[in-house]
Amino acid sequence: MKALCWHGKHDIRCDDVPDPRIEHPRDAIVRVTSCAICGSDLHLYDGFVPGMKTGDIMGHEFMGEVVEVGPENRKLKVGDRVVVPFTICCGECDQCRRGNFSVCERTNRNKELADKAFGHTTAGLFGYTHLTGGYPGGQAEYVRVPYADVAPVKVPGGLTDEQVLFLGDILPTGWQAAAQCEIEPTDTVAVWGAGPVGQFCVQSAFLLGARQVAVIDNVKERLAMAAGRGAIPIDFDEESVLERLNDLTQGKGPEKCIDAVGLEAHATRSLDSVYDRIKQAAMLESDRPHVLREIFYVCRPAGTVSVPGVYGGLVDKLPFGAVMNKGLTIRTGQTHVNRWTRDLLQRIQSGQIDPTFVITHTVSLDEGPAYYKTFRDKEDGCIKVVLMPGAASSPGAAPRAGA
């Protein structure tokens, strides 16, 4: 089959690789009909998150049709259409029983690596380094889904791939980021990053009742998209983020701040960004925490900081004194996808949420490598890329050989 494989920094290739096989009785094999490139994939593409090996299959946002089911899997049957959450979960451990699916205790098959890096293991993730299990990802024609009797979400009839694809990652990510803010009707919510995740943070913050939502970025079409949906755009190239946010809140700062940027924050005019670039290049710091610094500084005392943006390792010069003395609450995490999918699916079905608005490019799988660059560089107005493996080699979605 064809799959997008990692071969090093800025080197993703569409390779021919062996078809996946059932390895455990709970597995399923899914023929991928649609998948997407996520902002988290860019951290691997840009070489900032360690633990990738040459030939690893990328992709953790995908959906498709079940073509093979292991004998112990009583949830799925051949022909089911499913969205597969990026977090692999067992459904049985202490964390899964509490709904903390992204920190499932059992699904990371390289548990000892994660124990060493983070103190404790977190869940296995598709296509996301050997630190989270080294599972082949879904930017491929087929994918093996482990524990497939737990997380996959069956898609009701009448919904297109585009409507439900993001249920596996960025839609619940934006929703969880806003939900973790426990928004009150008087709140100003400020969202850093107007990428696909930031867009869903903005939408979710409004749906959860925010008084006003501000969005910070320097990419014009991304700011315009968020502004079109009611947010107040702040272009950090053109104005001071801190001054504008204080102006919007009578000098008090936003009650709720969301970091939807993560470890690759662009250098701004601020001195600390230059410092981070130098330290990161010299391998003295793995992540660039400019956004976190700005948030800790501007967030209103007793406010909440929600961090869906991915960080991989060490950050430097964080003003933790501001966090402590202002009494800020920090909430973060890889998304507990299945905690939110039932509610979000209903909101999609009822028409309250239409996640398709973020899609700017739909291409075939073999065009994927070029579109990693287009997405990373925000060329051609790119906000979200959807890949259709069926269109790459077998138009008309031919059945899987041997299945």
Ligand X SMILES: NC(=O)c1ccc[n+]([C@@H]2O[C@H](COP(=O)([O-])OP(=O)(O)OC[C@H]3O[C@@H](n4cnc5c(N)ncnc54)[C@H](O)[C@@H]3O)[C@@H](O)[C@H]2O)c1
Q: Which spans of this chain sit near ligand X (rule: CB under 6 A)? A: 38-40, 42-43, 169-170, 173, 192-198, 216-219, 222, 236, 260-262, 265-266, 268, 290-291, 308-310, 334-335
Closer CB to ligand X, 30 or 123, in the complex: 123
Q: Other C-beta atoms within 10 Å of 178: how many?
A: 28
Which lies closer to ligand X via its Cβ, residue 142 or residue 296? 296
* Ranges assigned E (strand) in 256-332: 256-259, 304-307, 329-332
Going across the sheet that includes 56-57, the strands are 12-16, 2-6, 56-57
Residue 226 Cα to chain centre, angstroms: 18
Q: With respect to ligand X, which residue has the nearer C-beta, 64 or 262?
A: 262
CA distances from 299 to 188, 222, 259, 305, 329 (A): 10, 23, 12, 8, 10
Min dist. Cβ of residue 302 to ligand X (A): 24
Minimum distance, C-beta of residue 370 to ligand X, in the bound complex (Å): 17
Beta strands in 298-368 (DSSP E): 304-307, 329-332, 361-364
Pair 383, 199: CB distance under 8 Å = yes
Task: Select from 240, 376, 352 the least CA-distant residue to 298.
Answer: 240
Closest contact distance (angstroms) between CB of 272 and ligand X is: 10
Q: Which does 196 bind (CB under 5 to 8 A by kind): Zn ion, ligand X, none?
A: ligand X
Smallest gap, in angstroms, from Cβ of residue 23 to ligand X? 26
Shortest approach of Zn ion to residue 138 CB, angstroms? 11
| Residues numbered 96-135 forming contacts with Zn ion, rule: CB under 5 A | 96, 104, 106
Print the binding letters for residues 163-182 with Zn ion: x by CB under 5 A, - otherwise: ------x-------------
9 Cβ contact partners less than 8 Å away, ≥ 6 residues apart: 45, 46, 47
End-to-end CA distance of the chain: 13
- Other beta carbons less than 10 A from residue 347's beta carbon: 17
Task: List the single partner that 217 binds among Zn ion, ligand X, none, CB under 5 to 8 Å by kind.
Answer: ligand X
| CA quadruple 121, 171, 175, 377: dihedral sign | positive
Contact of residue 90 among ligand X, Zn ion, none (CB under 5-8 Å per partner type): Zn ion
Q: Return the one option of ligand X, Zn ion, none that residue 37 interacts with (CB less than 5 to 8 A, by type).
A: none
Q: How far is the CB of 394 from ligand X (least distance, A)?
A: 29
Closest CA to 292 of 318, 271, 264, 312: 318
Under rule CB under 5 A, residue 40 binds Zn ion:
yes
Per-residue mark of binding to Zn ion, 19-38 (x: CB under 5 A): -------------------x
Cβ closest to ligand X, residue 43 vs residue 300: 43
**Is the CB of 20 or the CB of 127 nearer to ligand X?**
127
The amino acid that residue 30 corresponds to is V
Q: Which is closer to ligand X, CB of 2 or CB of 244?
A: 244
* Contacting positions for Zn ion (CB under 5 A): 38, 40, 89-90, 93, 96, 104, 106, 169
